[in-house]
Chains A and B, each alone.
Chain A
Amino acid sequence: MSELMDTIVLWPSLLAVLLIFGIAPGTVLRLLVLLYPRDDARRRELIAELYTIPRLERPLWVCEQLETALFEGLSNRIRSRRTRRAESAENRAISKREALKQRQESQVTVGALLIRHGLTVRDGRPGRHRPPTRSYRLSRSSRLGQLLDEVVIEKGHARGTVHEKAS
């Protein structure tokens, strides 16, 4: 009977010891370092330090790291997230400004645009050569409509020169 009791007491204790001094410190530490930002060197540093610490000290040391990760890691993460958001907003504003500037500065020749759309210029106005079929005619006319929405033909200007509408 006493042998049986010993066995029951021994196995859970052994498992607990294995868990606390074996698997748990590494697992818990790896979860804790996730609180740090992804590019933070402290993540790698703490995991590397764990393996130089004597096994008996590891559980306590990992508990201490909870404090560090909560106060240092979380604040770093929040700070880096704020910085990233501010940077991306700034980049968006810059690219918007540049796109607008390019749109305002760009000059597109009617010839180039019409050739791209498969159309020709006749008397300063975009036109087309006899379409072979009705469906071809319809598709071309809708494309021409789109094109005319996009560009403003300057009257009296050299034939074939348009400016994009500054929206």
Chain B
Amino acid sequence: MDNPAGKHWGYELSKLSGVRSGVMYPLLSRMLSAGWLVDGWEEETATGGKRPPRRYYKITDEGRLQLGAALQAASHDARFQGLNWRFV
């Protein structure tokens, strides 16, 4: 990922990570409620009025620590070998 600290959309994250969107959205909700992410809405001007504004997610400092630790642990786990680690 080029800019992990930037704004990212659910579909984009699901594409980058290889996690199905049906799993990704509930995951994002849980991370939001845990305070690992913050969310917001795209500016109306950015869409050019052609589509509705998207909801973006940004990682927090707490989230960076927690997710870094979780990913570190998961990278050695055989169950997660199928994931796209370039995402990290």
Specify which chain B residues have a CB less than 8 angstroms from the CB of A61 in the assembled complex.
11, 21
Query: How far apart sit A48 and B50, CA to CA, in the bound complex (Å)?
Result: 10
A68 touches which one: B11, B25, B53, B54 (CB < 8 A)?
A: B25
| Cβ–Cβ contact B55 & A44, under 8 A | yes
| Cβ–Cβ contact B22 & A68, under 8 A | yes
Interface residue? A65 (CB, 8 A): yes
In this complex, the interface size class of chain A, counting residues with CB under 8 Å from chain B, is 10 to 19
Indicate with 1 or 0, residue by residue over A42-69, a CB within 8 angstroms of chain B CB atoms. Answer: 1011111101110000000100110110
Chain B residue nearest to A70 in the complex (CB):
B22
Chain B residue nearest to A51 in the complex (CB):
B51
Interface residue? B52 (CB, 8 A): yes
A64 touches which one: B20, B29, B50, B51 (CB < 8 A)?
A: B20
Q: Number of contacts between A and B (CB, 8 Å)?
A: 46
A72 touches which one: B26, B50, B52 (CB < 8 A)?
A: B26
Q: A61-B21, A64-B21, A72-B26 are in contact. Are A48 and B51 (CB under 8 A)?
A: yes
Query: How far apart sit A64 and B53, CA to CA, in the bound complex (Å)?
Result: 21
| Cβ–Cβ contact B25 & A42, under 8 A | yes
Indicate with 1 or 0, residue by residue over A139-150, a CB within 8 angstroms of chain B CB atoms. Answer: 000000000000
Query: How far apart sit A82 and B42, CA to CA, in the bound complex (Å)?
Result: 32
Specify which chain A residues have a CB less than 8 angstroms from the CB of B39 in the assembled complex.
41
Query: How far apart sit A65 and B25, CA to CA, in the bound complex (Å)?
Result: 9
Interface residue? B10 (CB, 8 A): yes
Query: How far apart sit A14 and B74, CA to CA, in the bound complex (Å)?
Result: 47
| Cβ–Cβ contact A45 & B55, under 8 A | yes
Query: How far apart sit A45 and B42, CA to CA, in the bound complex (Å)?
Result: 10
Within 8 A of A (CB), among B41-81: 41-42, 50-55
- State the B residues within 8 Å of A (CB): 9-11, 20-22, 25-26, 29, 39, 41-42, 50-55
